[in-house]
Structure 1
Protein backbone atom coordinates (compact mmCIF):
# COMPACT_ATOMS: atom_id res chain seq x y z
CA UNK A 1 0.00 0.00 0.00
CA UNK A 2 1.25 3.47 -0.94
CA UNK A 3 1.02 6.67 1.08
CA UNK A 4 -0.44 9.49 -1.01
CA UNK A 5 0.74 13.04 -0.32
CA UNK A 6 -1.06 16.02 -1.86
CA UNK A 7 1.04 19.07 -2.74
CA UNK A 8 -1.10 22.06 -1.78
CA UNK A 9 -3.66 22.29 1.03
CA UNK A 10 -5.69 25.28 -0.15
CA UNK A 11 -9.04 25.13 -1.98
CA UNK A 12 -7.84 23.04 -4.91
CA UNK A 13 -5.97 20.78 -2.51
CA UNK A 14 -9.19 20.01 -0.66
CA UNK A 15 -10.87 19.24 -3.99
CA UNK A 16 -8.04 16.87 -4.88
CA UNK A 17 -8.38 15.18 -1.49
CA UNK A 18 -12.03 14.52 -2.35
CA UNK A 19 -10.98 13.23 -5.79
CA UNK A 20 -8.40 10.93 -4.21
CA UNK A 21 -11.13 9.26 -2.12
CA UNK A 22 -13.27 8.62 -5.21
CA UNK A 23 -10.95 6.60 -7.41
CA UNK A 24 -10.94 2.88 -8.10
CA UNK A 25 -7.39 2.69 -6.77
CA UNK A 26 -8.51 4.07 -3.39
CA UNK A 27 -11.47 1.72 -3.26
CA UNK A 28 -9.08 -1.18 -4.02
CA UNK A 29 -6.77 -0.16 -1.18
CA UNK A 30 -3.81 0.79 -3.36
CA UNK A 31 -3.08 3.87 -1.25
CA UNK A 32 -4.07 5.76 1.85
CA UNK A 33 -4.01 9.55 2.02
CA UNK A 34 -1.13 10.51 4.28
CA UNK A 35 -1.44 14.28 4.23
CA UNK A 36 -0.58 17.54 2.51
CA UNK A 37 2.53 19.57 1.81
CA UNK A 38 2.05 23.32 2.17
CA UNK A 39 4.07 26.22 3.61
CA UNK A 40 0.88 27.68 5.06
CA UNK A 41 0.67 25.44 8.09
CA UNK A 42 -2.75 26.75 9.15
CA UNK A 43 -4.40 26.32 5.72
CA UNK A 44 -6.77 23.64 7.02
CA UNK A 45 -7.62 25.18 10.41
CA UNK A 46 -11.21 26.23 9.51
CA UNK A 47 -11.99 22.76 8.12
CA UNK A 48 -12.56 19.29 9.54
CA UNK A 49 -11.97 15.79 8.24
CA UNK A 50 -8.66 16.31 6.47
CA UNK A 51 -5.29 14.65 7.08
CA UNK A 52 -2.45 16.80 8.46
CA UNK A 53 -0.11 19.20 6.73
CA UNK A 54 3.23 17.42 6.87
CA UNK A 55 5.42 20.45 6.13
CA UNK A 56 6.65 22.34 3.11
CA UNK A 57 7.69 20.89 -0.23
CA UNK A 58 11.24 22.19 0.08
CA UNK A 59 11.93 20.56 3.44
CA UNK A 60 9.94 17.33 3.17
CA UNK A 61 12.07 14.17 3.16
CA UNK A 62 10.50 11.47 1.00
CA UNK A 63 9.81 8.23 2.83
CA UNK A 64 9.39 4.68 1.59
CA UNK A 65 6.02 4.11 -0.14
CA UNK A 66 5.31 7.83 -0.56
CA UNK A 67 3.59 8.83 -3.80
CA UNK A 68 2.44 12.31 -4.80
CA UNK A 69 -0.08 14.39 -6.69
CA UNK A 70 0.12 18.16 -7.21
CA UNK A 71 -2.99 20.15 -6.27
CA UNK A 72 -2.01 23.57 -7.59
CA UNK A 73 -4.41 24.94 -10.19
CA UNK A 74 -2.06 27.58 -11.60
CA UNK A 75 0.34 26.16 -14.15
CA UNK A 76 3.70 27.65 -13.18
CA UNK A 77 3.47 26.94 -9.42
CA UNK A 78 2.32 23.40 -10.23
CA UNK A 79 5.35 22.88 -12.42
CA UNK A 80 7.72 24.42 -9.88
CA UNK A 81 6.64 22.42 -6.85
CA UNK A 82 6.15 19.14 -8.68
CA UNK A 83 9.64 19.50 -10.09
CA UNK A 84 11.05 19.92 -6.58
CA UNK A 85 9.60 16.54 -5.63
CA UNK A 86 10.72 14.96 -8.90
CA UNK A 87 14.25 16.19 -8.25
CA UNK A 88 14.14 14.38 -4.90
CA UNK A 89 13.15 11.16 -6.64
CA UNK A 90 9.45 11.33 -5.80
CA UNK A 91 6.87 9.30 -7.71
CA UNK A 92 3.63 10.83 -9.00
CA UNK A 93 0.45 8.88 -9.68
CA UNK A 94 -2.72 9.59 -11.64
CA UNK A 95 -6.10 10.19 -10.00
CA UNK A 96 -9.23 9.47 -12.06
CA UNK A 97 -12.64 9.91 -10.48
CA UNK A 98 -14.99 6.93 -10.68
CA UNK A 99 -17.55 9.17 -12.39
CA UNK A 100 -15.18 10.31 -15.14
CA UNK A 101 -15.54 8.78 -18.61
CA UNK A 102 -12.08 8.28 -20.09
CA UNK A 103 -11.99 6.51 -23.46
CA UNK A 104 -8.25 7.01 -24.08
CA UNK A 105 -5.26 5.32 -22.43
CA UNK A 106 -3.45 7.30 -19.73
CA UNK A 107 -1.77 4.38 -17.97
CA UNK A 108 1.69 5.44 -19.19
CA UNK A 109 1.36 8.95 -17.69
CA UNK A 110 2.07 10.44 -14.27
CA UNK A 111 0.55 13.24 -12.23
CA UNK A 112 -2.71 13.42 -14.21
CA UNK A 113 -5.86 14.56 -12.35
CA UNK A 114 -9.28 13.86 -13.88
CA UNK A 115 -12.31 14.93 -11.86
CA UNK A 116 -15.92 13.72 -11.87
CA UNK A 117 -18.05 13.97 -15.01
CA UNK A 118 -15.10 14.69 -17.29
CA UNK A 119 -15.43 13.13 -20.75
CA UNK A 120 -12.27 12.19 -22.65
CA UNK A 121 -13.15 10.85 -26.09
CA UNK A 122 -11.31 8.33 -28.26
CA UNK A 123 -7.72 8.79 -29.43
CA UNK A 124 -7.06 11.77 -27.19
CA UNK A 125 -3.40 12.34 -26.27
CA UNK A 126 -2.84 13.60 -22.75
CA UNK A 127 0.54 14.36 -21.15
CA UNK A 128 2.09 14.22 -17.69
CA UNK A 129 0.69 16.55 -15.02
CA UNK A 130 -2.42 17.56 -16.95
CA UNK A 131 -5.37 18.43 -14.71
CA UNK A 132 -8.98 18.37 -15.93
CA UNK A 133 -11.74 19.62 -13.65
CA UNK A 134 -15.40 18.68 -13.39
CA UNK A 135 -17.57 18.49 -16.53
CA UNK A 136 -14.76 19.34 -18.95
CA UNK A 137 -14.98 17.67 -22.36
CA UNK A 138 -12.19 16.59 -24.73
CA UNK A 139 -13.15 15.63 -28.29
CA UNK A 140 -11.62 12.92 -30.43
CA UNK A 141 -7.96 13.24 -31.44
CA UNK A 142 -7.37 16.27 -29.20
CA UNK A 143 -3.92 16.73 -27.70
CA UNK A 144 -3.07 18.32 -24.35
CA UNK A 145 0.52 19.19 -23.49
CA UNK A 146 2.37 18.70 -20.23
CA UNK A 147 1.38 20.82 -17.19
CA UNK A 148 -1.78 22.18 -18.86
CA UNK A 149 -4.96 22.78 -16.87
CA UNK A 150 -8.58 22.61 -18.06
CA UNK A 151 -11.04 24.22 -15.65
CA UNK A 152 -14.61 23.06 -15.08
CA UNK A 153 -16.94 23.05 -18.10
CA UNK A 154 -14.14 23.85 -20.54
CA UNK A 155 -14.27 22.09 -23.92
CA UNK A 156 -11.78 21.23 -26.61
CA UNK A 157 -13.10 19.64 -29.79
CA UNK A 158 -11.82 17.31 -32.49
CA UNK A 159 -8.12 17.66 -33.37
CA UNK A 160 -7.66 20.63 -31.03
CA UNK A 161 -4.12 21.05 -29.66
CA UNK A 162 -3.27 22.59 -26.31
CA UNK A 163 0.50 22.93 -26.14
CA UNK A 164 2.44 22.75 -22.87
CA UNK A 165 1.51 24.92 -19.88
CA UNK A 166 -1.85 26.11 -21.24
CA UNK A 167 -4.62 27.30 -18.91
CA UNK A 168 -8.27 27.09 -19.98
CA UNK A 169 -10.42 28.90 -17.45
CA UNK A 170 -14.01 27.98 -16.58
CA UNK A 171 -16.25 27.23 -19.59
CA UNK A 172 -13.62 28.20 -22.17
CA UNK A 173 -14.12 26.48 -25.52
CA UNK A 174 -11.87 25.80 -28.53
CA UNK A 175 -13.32 24.93 -31.95
CA UNK A 176 -11.94 21.99 -33.98
CA UNK A 177 -8.42 21.91 -35.40
CA UNK A 178 -7.17 25.01 -33.57
CA UNK A 179 -3.96 25.26 -31.56
CA UNK A 180 -3.51 27.10 -28.29
CA UNK A 181 0.19 27.87 -27.97
CA UNK A 182 2.55 27.08 -25.11
CA UNK A 183 2.02 29.13 -21.97
CA UNK A 184 -1.24 30.69 -23.17
CA UNK A 185 -4.33 31.44 -21.13
CA UNK A 186 -7.94 31.38 -22.38
CA UNK A 187 -10.26 33.39 -20.15
CA UNK A 188 -13.50 32.17 -18.59
CA UNK A 189 -16.38 31.76 -21.02
CA UNK A 190 -14.23 32.49 -24.05
CA UNK A 191 -14.62 30.91 -27.51
CA UNK A 192 -11.40 30.31 -29.45
CA UNK A 193 -12.03 30.28 -33.22
CA UNK A 194 -8.46 30.83 -34.41
CA UNK A 195 -5.02 29.78 -33.25
CA UNK A 196 -3.67 31.38 -30.07
CA UNK A 197 0.01 32.33 -30.15
CA UNK A 198 2.40 31.07 -27.46
CA UNK A 199 2.27 33.14 -24.30
CA UNK A 200 -0.89 35.06 -25.21
CA UNK A 201 -3.86 35.66 -22.94
CA UNK A 202 -7.17 35.82 -24.81
CA UNK A 203 -10.70 36.57 -23.67
CA UNK A 204 -14.14 36.96 -25.16
CA UNK A 205 -16.38 35.40 -27.80
CA UNK A 206 -14.67 35.27 -30.18
CA UNK A 207 -11.51 35.29 -28.07
CA UNK A 208 -9.17 38.22 -28.62
CA UNK A 209 -5.77 39.08 -27.20
CA UNK A 210 -6.03 40.87 -23.88
Structure 2
Protein backbone atom coordinates (compact mmCIF):
# COMPACT_ATOMS: atom_id res chain seq x y z
CA UNK A 1 0.00 0.00 0.00
CA UNK A 2 1.37 3.39 -1.05
CA UNK A 3 0.51 6.76 0.49
CA UNK A 4 -0.48 9.45 -2.02
CA UNK A 5 0.48 13.03 -1.25
CA UNK A 6 -0.60 15.98 -3.40
CA UNK A 7 1.98 18.75 -3.49
CA UNK A 8 -0.08 21.95 -3.60
CA UNK A 9 -3.39 22.78 -1.94
CA UNK A 10 -4.80 25.47 -4.23
CA UNK A 11 -7.30 25.02 -7.04
CA UNK A 12 -4.97 22.68 -8.93
CA UNK A 13 -4.54 20.46 -5.88
CA UNK A 14 -8.27 20.35 -5.18
CA UNK A 15 -9.01 19.41 -8.80
CA UNK A 16 -6.50 16.60 -8.67
CA UNK A 17 -7.85 15.36 -5.34
CA UNK A 18 -11.36 15.10 -6.82
CA UNK A 19 -10.10 12.79 -9.58
CA UNK A 20 -7.82 10.47 -7.60
CA UNK A 21 -10.38 7.67 -7.55
CA UNK A 22 -10.53 7.70 -11.35
CA UNK A 23 -6.88 6.68 -11.58
CA UNK A 24 -5.69 5.03 -8.37
CA UNK A 25 -7.12 1.86 -6.86
CA UNK A 26 -7.96 1.99 -3.16
CA UNK A 27 -6.40 -1.47 -2.90
CA UNK A 28 -2.99 -0.02 -3.76
CA UNK A 29 -3.12 3.62 -2.71
CA UNK A 30 -4.50 5.61 0.19
CA UNK A 31 -4.58 9.38 0.38
CA UNK A 32 -2.33 10.81 3.09
CA UNK A 33 -2.71 14.57 2.66
CA UNK A 34 -1.35 17.71 1.03
CA UNK A 35 1.94 19.57 1.17
CA UNK A 36 1.52 23.35 1.12
CA UNK A 37 2.20 26.56 2.98
CA UNK A 38 -1.43 26.78 4.14
CA UNK A 39 -2.79 26.16 7.63
CA UNK A 40 -3.22 22.41 8.37
CA UNK A 41 -7.02 22.77 8.28
CA UNK A 42 -7.20 25.22 5.38
CA UNK A 43 -9.07 22.84 3.08
CA UNK A 44 -12.01 22.22 5.38
CA UNK A 45 -13.89 25.17 3.90
CA UNK A 46 -13.88 23.19 0.63
CA UNK A 47 -15.24 20.10 2.42
CA UNK A 48 -11.89 18.37 2.06
CA UNK A 49 -11.19 16.79 5.41
CA UNK A 50 -7.59 15.80 4.86
CA UNK A 51 -4.65 17.60 6.44
CA UNK A 52 -1.96 19.84 5.09
CA UNK A 53 0.93 17.77 6.39
CA UNK A 54 3.70 20.37 6.11
CA UNK A 55 5.31 22.85 3.77
CA UNK A 56 6.94 20.96 0.87
CA UNK A 57 10.45 21.98 1.87
CA UNK A 58 9.91 20.81 5.46
CA UNK A 59 8.40 17.40 4.78
CA UNK A 60 10.52 14.29 5.26
CA UNK A 61 9.43 11.61 2.76
CA UNK A 62 8.69 8.13 4.05
CA UNK A 63 9.37 4.93 2.06
CA UNK A 64 5.74 4.38 1.01
CA UNK A 65 5.05 8.00 0.04
CA UNK A 66 4.31 8.82 -3.58
CA UNK A 67 3.92 12.43 -4.70
CA UNK A 68 1.71 14.19 -7.26
CA UNK A 69 2.67 17.71 -8.34
CA UNK A 70 -0.23 20.19 -8.30
CA UNK A 71 1.41 23.62 -8.44
CA UNK A 72 0.88 25.99 -11.35
CA UNK A 73 3.51 28.68 -10.64
CA UNK A 74 6.53 27.73 -12.72
CA UNK A 75 9.29 28.80 -10.31
CA UNK A 76 7.53 27.05 -7.44
CA UNK A 77 7.14 23.87 -9.51
CA UNK A 78 10.89 23.63 -10.02
CA UNK A 79 11.90 24.51 -6.46
CA UNK A 80 9.33 22.21 -4.89
CA UNK A 81 10.13 19.13 -6.96
CA UNK A 82 13.85 19.67 -6.35
CA UNK A 83 13.31 19.92 -2.58
CA UNK A 84 11.29 16.70 -2.40
CA UNK A 85 13.50 14.72 -4.76
CA UNK A 86 16.64 15.80 -2.90
CA UNK A 87 15.24 13.88 0.10
CA UNK A 88 14.46 10.78 -1.95
CA UNK A 89 10.79 11.55 -2.65
CA UNK A 90 9.27 9.90 -5.73
CA UNK A 91 6.79 11.61 -8.06
CA UNK A 92 4.38 9.36 -9.93
CA UNK A 93 2.18 10.04 -12.94
CA UNK A 94 -1.53 10.74 -13.04
CA UNK A 95 -3.02 9.89 -16.45
CA UNK A 96 -6.78 10.17 -16.49
CA UNK A 97 -8.58 7.36 -18.37
CA UNK A 98 -10.47 9.95 -20.43
CA UNK A 99 -7.21 11.32 -21.83
CA UNK A 100 -5.84 9.93 -25.09
CA UNK A 101 -2.18 8.89 -24.97
CA UNK A 102 -0.82 7.20 -28.08
CA UNK A 103 0.88 3.86 -27.58
CA UNK A 104 4.05 5.26 -29.15
CA UNK A 105 4.19 8.30 -26.85
CA UNK A 106 6.70 8.46 -23.99
CA UNK A 107 5.53 9.93 -20.69
CA UNK A 108 8.04 11.03 -18.05
CA UNK A 109 7.64 10.29 -14.36
CA UNK A 110 5.34 12.63 -12.47
CA UNK A 111 3.26 13.73 -15.46
CA UNK A 112 -0.26 14.94 -14.69
CA UNK A 113 -2.62 14.49 -17.65
CA UNK A 114 -6.20 15.64 -17.20
CA UNK A 115 -9.38 14.35 -18.89
CA UNK A 116 -9.70 14.96 -22.64
CA UNK A 117 -6.05 15.88 -23.10
CA UNK A 118 -4.26 14.35 -26.11
CA UNK A 119 -0.71 13.07 -26.52
CA UNK A 120 -0.21 11.99 -30.12
CA UNK A 121 2.10 9.56 -31.88
CA UNK A 122 5.79 9.52 -30.93
CA UNK A 123 5.49 12.56 -28.66
CA UNK A 124 7.87 12.64 -25.69
CA UNK A 125 7.01 14.30 -22.38
CA UNK A 126 9.67 14.93 -19.75
CA UNK A 127 9.20 14.61 -16.00
CA UNK A 128 6.45 16.51 -14.18
CA UNK A 129 4.71 17.88 -17.27
CA UNK A 130 1.10 18.98 -16.76
CA UNK A 131 -1.61 18.86 -19.43
CA UNK A 132 -4.84 20.51 -18.38
CA UNK A 133 -8.31 19.79 -19.79
CA UNK A 134 -8.32 19.49 -23.62
CA UNK A 135 -4.63 20.34 -23.97
CA UNK A 136 -3.16 18.74 -27.09
CA UNK A 137 0.36 17.51 -27.87
CA UNK A 138 0.85 16.80 -31.58
CA UNK A 139 2.86 14.01 -33.15
CA UNK A 140 6.63 13.95 -32.64
CA UNK A 141 6.63 16.81 -30.12
CA UNK A 142 9.33 17.06 -27.47
CA UNK A 143 8.15 18.56 -24.18
CA UNK A 144 10.73 19.26 -21.50
CA UNK A 145 10.54 18.88 -17.72
CA UNK A 146 8.00 20.89 -15.74
CA UNK A 147 6.21 22.37 -18.75
CA UNK A 148 2.55 23.27 -18.25
CA UNK A 149 -0.20 23.45 -20.86
CA UNK A 150 -3.38 25.22 -19.78
CA UNK A 151 -6.86 24.19 -21.03
CA UNK A 152 -7.11 23.98 -24.83
CA UNK A 153 -3.42 24.74 -25.36
CA UNK A 154 -2.17 23.15 -28.59
CA UNK A 155 1.22 22.03 -29.85
CA UNK A 156 1.23 21.09 -33.51
CA UNK A 157 3.53 18.41 -34.88
CA UNK A 158 7.30 18.46 -34.30
CA UNK A 159 7.15 21.27 -31.72
CA UNK A 160 9.86 21.41 -29.06
CA UNK A 161 9.34 22.94 -25.64
CA UNK A 162 12.40 23.18 -23.45
CA UNK A 163 11.97 22.96 -19.67
CA UNK A 164 9.55 25.13 -17.68
CA UNK A 165 7.62 26.51 -20.66
CA UNK A 166 4.06 27.71 -20.01
CA UNK A 167 1.40 27.60 -22.74
CA UNK A 168 -1.69 29.56 -21.71
CA UNK A 169 -5.33 28.78 -22.52
CA UNK A 170 -5.98 28.53 -26.28
CA UNK A 171 -2.32 29.20 -26.99
CA UNK A 172 -1.06 27.50 -30.18
CA UNK A 173 2.49 26.66 -31.25
CA UNK A 174 2.97 26.24 -35.00
CA UNK A 175 4.49 23.05 -36.44
CA UNK A 176 8.21 22.65 -35.95
CA UNK A 177 8.69 25.66 -33.68
CA UNK A 178 10.89 25.61 -30.59
CA UNK A 179 10.17 27.55 -27.41
CA UNK A 180 13.25 27.81 -25.25
CA UNK A 181 13.51 27.39 -21.50
CA UNK A 182 11.21 29.49 -19.28
CA UNK A 183 9.33 31.05 -22.19
CA UNK A 184 5.59 31.71 -22.02
CA UNK A 185 2.84 31.88 -24.63
CA UNK A 186 -0.08 34.15 -23.76
CA UNK A 187 -3.74 33.14 -23.94
CA UNK A 188 -5.34 33.16 -27.41
CA UNK A 189 -1.94 33.68 -29.01
CA UNK A 190 0.09 31.86 -31.66
CA UNK A 191 3.82 31.21 -31.60
CA UNK A 192 4.71 31.13 -35.31
CA UNK A 193 8.52 31.11 -35.00
CA UNK A 194 11.12 29.98 -32.49
CA UNK A 195 11.04 31.75 -29.13
CA UNK A 196 14.25 32.50 -27.24
CA UNK A 197 14.80 31.71 -23.56
CA UNK A 198 12.60 33.60 -21.07
CA UNK A 199 10.52 35.29 -23.76
CA UNK A 200 6.85 36.24 -23.51
CA UNK A 201 4.97 35.58 -26.75
CA UNK A 202 1.61 37.27 -27.31
CA UNK A 203 -0.81 38.05 -30.12
CA UNK A 204 -1.44 36.54 -33.57
CA UNK A 205 1.09 36.17 -35.02
CA UNK A 206 3.02 36.16 -31.76
CA UNK A 207 5.26 39.08 -30.85
CA UNK A 208 8.13 38.40 -28.47
CA UNK A 209 9.37 40.47 -25.53
CA UNK A 210 11.53 39.47 -22.55
CA UNK A 211 9.55 38.13 -19.62
CA UNK A 212 9.34 40.54 -16.70
CA UNK A 213 8.14 37.92 -14.22
CA UNK A 214 10.87 35.31 -14.68
With normalisation by structure 2, the TM-score equals 0.92
CA shift for structure 1 position 207: 1.1
Where structure 1 has 5 or more consecutive residues not aligned to the other structure, the ranges are none
2:33 equivalent in structure 1? 35
Aligned positions of 1:1-210 closer than 5 A:
1-23=1-23, 26-27=24-25, 29-41=27-39, 42-103=41-102, 104-106=104-106, 109-210=108-209
Q: Distance in 2 between matches of 1:87 and 1:28?
A: 28
CA shift for structure 1 position 55: 1.4
Runs of 4+ aligned residues of structure 1 deviating over 2 Å after TM superposition are 18-21, 27-30, 104-107
Q: How many residues align?
A: 207
Where structure 2 has 5 or more consecutive residues not aligned to the other structure, the ranges are 210-214
User: Mean alpha-carbon deviation: is it higher for 60-69 or for 178-187?
Assistant: 60-69
Once the two structures are superposed, what CA deviation does each residue of 1:60-94 show, in whole Å capped at 9, x if it has no partner? 12223111011101221011011110011111100
User: Mean alpha-carbon deviation: is it higher for 51-60 or for 179-188?
Assistant: 51-60
> Residue 81 of structure 1 aligns to a residue in which SS?
helix
CA shift for structure 1 position 43: 3.5
Q: Report the structure, 1 or 2, having the larger strand content.
A: 2
Contact 2:106-2:123 within 8 A present in 1 as well: no
RMSD of aligned residue pairs (Cα, Å): 1.4
CA shift for structure 1 position 50: 4.5
Once the two structures are superposed, what CA deviation does each residue of 1:149-203 show, in whole Å capped at 9, x if it has no partner? 1111000011011111100011100110111111100011111111111110111
Q: Distance in 1 between matches of 2:124 and 2:188?
A: 24
Q: Distance in 2 between matches of 1:146 and 1:71?
A: 14
Once the two structures are superposed, what CA deviation does each residue of 1:100-146 show, in whole Å capped at 9, x if it has no partner? 01004446x21110000001111001100111101011111011011
